[in-house]
Structure formats: C-alpha cells, structure tokens
Copies of this chain bind each other. A is one copy, B any other.
Amino acid sequence: MADRAALEDLVRVQGERVRGLKQQKASAEQIEEEVAKLLKLKAQLGPDEGKPKFVLKTPKGTRDYSPRQMAVREKVFDVIISCFKRHGAEVIDTPVFELKETLTGKYGEDSKLIYDLKDQGGELLSLRYDLTVPFARYLAMNKLTNIKRYHIAKVYRRDNPAMTRGRYREFYQCDFDIAGQFDPMLPDAECLKIMCEILSSLQIGDFLVKVNDRRILDGMFAICGVPDSKFRTICSSVDKLDKVSWEEVKNEMVGEKGLAPEVADRIGDYVQQHGGVSLVEQLLQDPKLSQNKQALEGLGDLKLLFEYLTLFGIADKISFDLSLARGLDYYTGVIYEAVLLQPPARAGEEPLGVGSVAAGGRYDGLVGMFDPKGRKVPCVGLSIGVERIFSIVEQRLEAELLYKKNPKLLNQLQYCEETGIPLVAIIGEQELKDGVIKLRSVASREEVDVRREDLVEEIKRRTSQPLCIC
C-alpha cells in the first residue's frame, strides 16, 4: 500500500488526465478506461469524509439525453412513426418488466444477458429484452389474431457496451409487426418496404438489406450433414461471418463445436454465396438442396418475395445472403438485416458494411408458446435500432452547428463549402437597415436579398431535407 500523500498525488494527476481527455473530446471508451483507473486509485485511497462516497455517473452502458440529444431523438422518431402510421399500424405499450417466466426459453444463448429484478417478495421479474416477446404475450393474453402494431420503447441487455458505436445496455427499439394469416410473403414484403422507406428518409447514407430464410439454413445444414442437435450452435457460428473470415468460422465449427471438416467445407460452399433472385433460382436447381422439403419451401417463398420487392421498387436494395443467420431462437421463416454501407475507399472495391441498423423476420410459433391451447398466430416484423442512427445524426449536427473560433465572413463561407452546408444567411448593417437578409447559395456563390418575413419559406423552398434540426 502506497503512502497516502503519494497516492493523493496520483489521484490528482489521473483526475487531470481525465479532464484533459474530456476537453479534447477523446473517445468515450478511452475516457471510460481512464476513469476506471481513477476510480481504482480512489478506492486504494479509501474514503474521505469531506466528499460524498458515491460515484456521480449513470449506470454502465446507459446515458442521459440532453435537450440537444432529445431533439435528434424526436426528429428520428417522427420519421419512423409517420412511416409506421402510413402503413396502417396502431401503437401499443407494455410494462418495462415482465414475469421472468414470460421471457424464459425465447432467446437461446442470449438469455444470459437478461436483467433480473431482485426477489423482494412477490413475483419474479425481468426487464424486457426486446419488444417482440412482450408483443406475443399481449396477443395471446388478449386473444388477438390480427393486428398491425408499432411499439417504440427501451429494452435492456447486459451486453458489453460500445457506446461510441451506439451499443448500449439500455437502448430504444422501434418495432413494427403484422400478426395474422395473409397471402404468402405479402406482409413480409411490406416489412422490407417499410425498412427501406425509413432508412431512405433518414438520409444516413447508402444501405443494403440482407435476406435469408431459416428454412433454407436448416435444409442446408441437413444436406451438409450437420446433426440436428447442432443446428442452433452452427447457426450461431454462421452468424459471425459479417465480422470474421470464413477460415475463423470454420475453425470454430471444427475445433470448438466438433463438426467434421468436410461438413464445414460443404457449409462453406453455400454460405459464401450472395446475390439476387438469380441465386434463388440457381439454388432451386441445386440437386441436393432442392431435394430438401424445408429448403424448397424457403426458396419458393423467397422467389415470390423478390417478385413483390421488384413491384415495390426496392429489389436493388436487397441481397439474398446465405450467411445471414440472426441470433434469436424464435424465427421460423424469412429473416433480414439492414446494414449501412461505407463508400468504397477505392474505385472498383465493394462498399463495406459498417453495422446493422434494422432487422427482423417471421416468427410463426411464438404466440403459440403463450396460448393455453397452443393456438398459433403467424407474425412477421421489423425492428429499427435507432441508437446508431442517433449517433450518426448527432455527429452530422455537430459539424453543422459548431461555432468557428475566427468569425470572419470568408472563413465562415469556406467552412460551409468544406462541410457541404448549402445556404448562408448574412445579416450585416446594410441588411439590418433594409429589413432584409442576404441569402447565399454556397455552391453557386450567388446572393439574393430576401425579406425577413419570407426567409423561412425561401429556405424551405430551396432545401428539401426532411431531417433538419434548427
């Protein structure tokens, strides 16, 4: 144990280090790391009577929303809600916690991430892990067999947070689901249409929606020779292909999960394929896969789905991707996941996926798990993961609103050119006297005087940005 005065010095130095990092706007992870060191030093130092003993922070993986962040959140929600309503959904809400047993057996390996409440006498409770299981419970409890609903609320996962990349322990999901028996693939196609509409209106960059079907995956595992008991765990390995190489996934399958190397190789031949409807047709001709009943059903439905997607004008955004597996237990048919694309670093390269922002699929068995008589209600839905979207919009706003140190006009105009701000409103002495505002188009450098009372209309006319926070 170090001498107290020396330790106090260390605490002081480390405290300054943390303050410095905050001023330099270092990454949240870096700051968190240095704060952790500071707390360790303080713990060594022991309690000091003059100060409160507790740490002034929000729980790990959570954050407050400042008024400015709330403005971003409300604007993003407005875009999402107006789309959900346009597609005819009603809104519901459910409690933040459920009976523990309501969540049991729904999430597979991820169940370990569920937050439980302390047993203080009475019922055993858990915080909701998603909005899908509460929705299924709601349907069964109210004996509903037919509803389009949306639900926007926070969910809770004891995951490893990575807050700069928008991964939190408390985070919003924006869910839209269709329950009921309808003609095949029509509700599924509407869900994909909604996803594309929302991601386009949010203007957060180019995106791609990967599509697959649980029945195709299961059929593929069967014909490759995966034992039934290993379907789920091999599915989890496949799901990692968006983050690591095929070699690593194969090593996990063979080394950790005991799959024969030739079985893994057969899987590898399939899951490295992706494409459009032509890949669906090619696999329908695949001598082995086409013999598997489940796979055949899945492929037939995907073919029909692509017809609807073409009619909806979004087929170019969709990629049939055999490596898409999704983690949750309850999916039974079509599954999908939208990723944002980073522009290619060099011409000719493929754009790089930088993370999932929306996902969903069909779960025809979940409501039946709650119904006392096991009556099934077919369901399909989607979930928008808005935290990443908030980060992107917040970063964009920071660029647009930051004050420059040097307020000279030329510097400001240059800043607008660099950051792509389209219009500048200039109010000098002459403009004040004349009751006008000079409006400058940054691209053309053309300037016109606009009367004050017409300014808002003129700016609205010239910009067609649906997401604009002032």
- A interface, CB within 8 angstroms of B: 51-60, 62-67, 70, 73, 90-99, 101-102, 104, 115-120, 122-123, 125, 127, 137-138, 140-142, 149, 154, 156, 158, 170, 369-370, 372-373
Contact = CB atoms under 8 A, between A and B. Distances in A.
A183 to B, nearest CB: 24
A91 B63 contact: no
A59 B116 contact: no
A123 B370 contact: no
A373 B115 CA distance: 34
30 contacts: A51-B373, A52-B369, A52-B370, A54-B99, A54-B101, A54-B102, A54-B104, A55-B99, A56-B141, A58-B99, A59-B95, A60-B123, A62-B95, A64-B92, A64-B93, A64-B94, A64-B141, A66-B92, A67-B149, A70-B90, A70-B91, A70-B93, A96-B127, A96-B156, A96-B170, A97-B170, A115-B117, A116-B120, A117-B118, A120-B158
Contacts of A122: 60, 158
Contacts of A53: 101
A52 B62 CA distance: 35
A191 B158 CA distance: 39
Question: Which 7 pairs of residues, A with B, have the shortest CB-CB distance?
Answer: A67-B90, A62-B95, A65-B93, A54-B101, A116-B118, A118-B118, A70-B91
A71 to B, nearest CB: 8
Given A52-B369, A54-B102, A101-B54, A63 B95 contact: yes
A92 B98 CA distance: 26
Determine which residue in A62, A95, A99, A119 has the highest number of CB atoms from chain B within 10 A of its CB, and name it: A95
Contact of A67 (B55, B91, B123, B127): B91
A463 to B, nearest CB: 25
A107 to B, nearest CB: 15
B141 A98 contact: no
A43 B366 CA distance: 25
